[in-house]
Amino acid sequence: MNQPPVIAIDGPTASGKGTVAMHVANHLGFHYLDSGALYRLVALASQQNGISPSDYGALGELALTMQIEFKNGLVFLGNLDVTEAIRDESIGVLASQIAVYPEVRDALLALQRGFRRSPGLVADGRDMASRIFTNALLKVFLTASVEARAERRYKQLIAKGISARMNVLLQDLQERDARDIQRATAPLKQAEGAYLLDTSKLSVDQAVEQVLSWYQVASRK
C-alpha cells in the first residue's frame, strides 16, 4: 500500500529545524509533527505527577497513557493548554534526560507514526529518519554551529522578555548535544541517505527553499 510521503528533518537543539519544518509543511499543505514536543510533554507530565526523572518504567507508562492533543497551533495535556509551559528551558533539559530511556522512546513510537496522514507529513526531531520514518521520501539533517544556535536561542528568549546569558545557553546546548549524540538508543546522527543542511549562514527562507527543491527532485524519482 502506498503510504503518504514523509519529509524527515533531524538535527540538534535550536538548529532552526522546527521553523524550517513548519514552513515546508505549510508550503506543501502537509501535516507537521514536532516530535520534541512529545518528549517535552512526557517531561512536563512527569513533573506534574511527581515521577522521578530516573524512574524509566513509570515514565514509559506515562508516555503511553498521557492524554495529549495538538489543536490550532496549541498543545494540550489533558484539558490544560501547555503550549508555553513545554517551551520552558527546564522542561527541554528534562526532556533530553528522559529521552535516553528506550522505555520512553518505544512508548512514543506508534504515536509518532500515527501522524503520517494524507497528503503527507513533515516530521522534525532527532531520529525521524533513522528510526521512526526510515522510508521517508526525503531525509534532511539540519544543523548549525553551536555558536549560531546559541545566538538564535538568545534572541528568541530576549524577544519573549525572558532574561538569558550567552555562556549559560552555550553550555546548555553543548550538554544537550552530548546527551543526544552519545545515548545508546536512537542517538542523534545524520541518517544514511540524509542531505546535510548547515544553516549557520542561511536565512529561514533559504533553508526552506533548499528543502523544497530537494523534495521536488525526490518526488520525481
CB closer to ligand C5P out of 1 and 159: 159
Size of the site for ligand C5P (CB under 6 A): 14
CB closer to ligand C5P out of 159 and 217: 159
Rounded to a whole number of angstroms, the minimum distance from the CB of residue 127 to ligand C5P is 5
Q: How many helices (H) and strands (E) does the chain have?
A: 9, 8
Cα Rg of the chain (Å, integer): 17
Residues 158-217 within binding reach of ligand C5P (CB under 6 A) = 176, 180
One character per residue 85-104, x = contact with ligand C5P (rule: CB under 6 A): -------x--xx--x-----
Question: How far is it, in rounded angstroms, from Cα 162 to Cα 185?
Answer: 33
Residues 5-64 within binding reach of ligand C5P (CB under 6 A) = 13, 35-36, 39-40
SS3 string, 163-221, reads CCCHHHHHHHHHHHHHHHHHCCCCCCCCCCCCEEEECCCCCHHHHHHHHHHHHHHHHHC
Rounded to a whole number of angstroms, the minimum distance from the CB of residue 88 to ligand C5P is 11
Hey, CA dihedral for 172, 175, 181, 186, is it positive or negative?
A: negative
* Number of alpha carbons in the 13 Å side-chain half-sphere of residue 141: 12
Residue from 31, 126, 149, 153 touching ligand C5P (CB under 6 A): that is 126
Rounded to a whole number of angstroms, the minimum distance from the CB of residue 67 to ligand C5P is 20
- Residues engaged in binding ligand C5P (CB under 6 A): 13, 35-36, 39-40, 92, 95-96, 99, 125-127, 176, 180
